[in-house]
Amino acid sequence: MFFDFLYANPGIAYFLVLGAVIFSYIMQANVDSTFKKYSQVGSRRNVPAHVIARQILDSYGLYDVTVMRIEGKLTDHYDPRQNVVALSDSTFYSTSVAAIGVAAHEVGHAVQYNKNYLPIKIRAVFVPIAQIGSKSWIIFFLLGMFFSMPFLLEVGVVLFAFVVLFQLLTLPVEFNASRRALNTIEQQFLLERDEMGGARKTLSAAAMTYVAGLMVAVAQLLRLLVMVNGRNNRR
């Protein structure tokens, strides 16, 4: 029913993409402003985020996981291949409630791998497929448009669908990492009770950027399906 409506009103798909992109920009601006706000709120314990990260890792027995500093702002991530929690310049030495929340979140991903958290294992399977899809879908789609070859168009759509699926699988992984982070911070008394709000708001704002990214990808997939359907109907 919904697809029939889109196929009958192809212009709607473009508005969905535009709306999703605008929402994505708003969510990115929100995470930037939220991090900036709470990065100026120092924790009373005055312990740098990289020390907090090391402490949490050690509490889980993850002594083989390295904590390192990388350039950039909010470029924090966990690399399972190198077994490294990488904290950005804006996080590594900071004692703010925002930085501690971000550091604990990235450690949460290391814990997920250690605990064999099923969603992250499933997502890992799709990483190479999603990487191939993100780099090649547009090539197949444009070739299909140029040479009027429906098969190439469909290959491009399928490859992009894997990108969307990967982003969908990312959501539970990110939300779970934030939940683990906040629980650990509270249980290990890494922040005072009244400081928890800043860390929670920072992680919530970051999580919404993943939601926004998924919305953009889904809207784009719908637009591609409408385009393919329109070309097929004109044949």
Residues forming the active site: 106
- Considering only CA atoms, which of 99, 98, 109 is closest in space to residue 49? 99
Residue of 137, 109, 133 lying closest to 121 (CA atoms): 109
Q: What is the SS3 assignment for 11-24?
A: HHHHHHHHHHHHHH
How many angstroms from the chain centroid is the CA of residue 180?
Answer: 16
Q: Which helix (H) or strand (E) holds 69?
A: strand 66-70
Dihedral sign for Cα atoms in the order 176, 60, 94, 41: positive
Contact by Cβ (8 Å): 46, 39: no
Strand, coil or helix: what is 235? coil
d(CA 120, CA 78): 12
Name the helix (H) or strand (E) containing 86.
strand 84-88
Q: Which of 144, 162, 160 is nearest to 152 (CA)?
A: 144
Which residues on neighbouring strands pair with residue 67, listed in sequence order? 85
Are 44 and 97 within 8 A, CB to CB? Answer: no
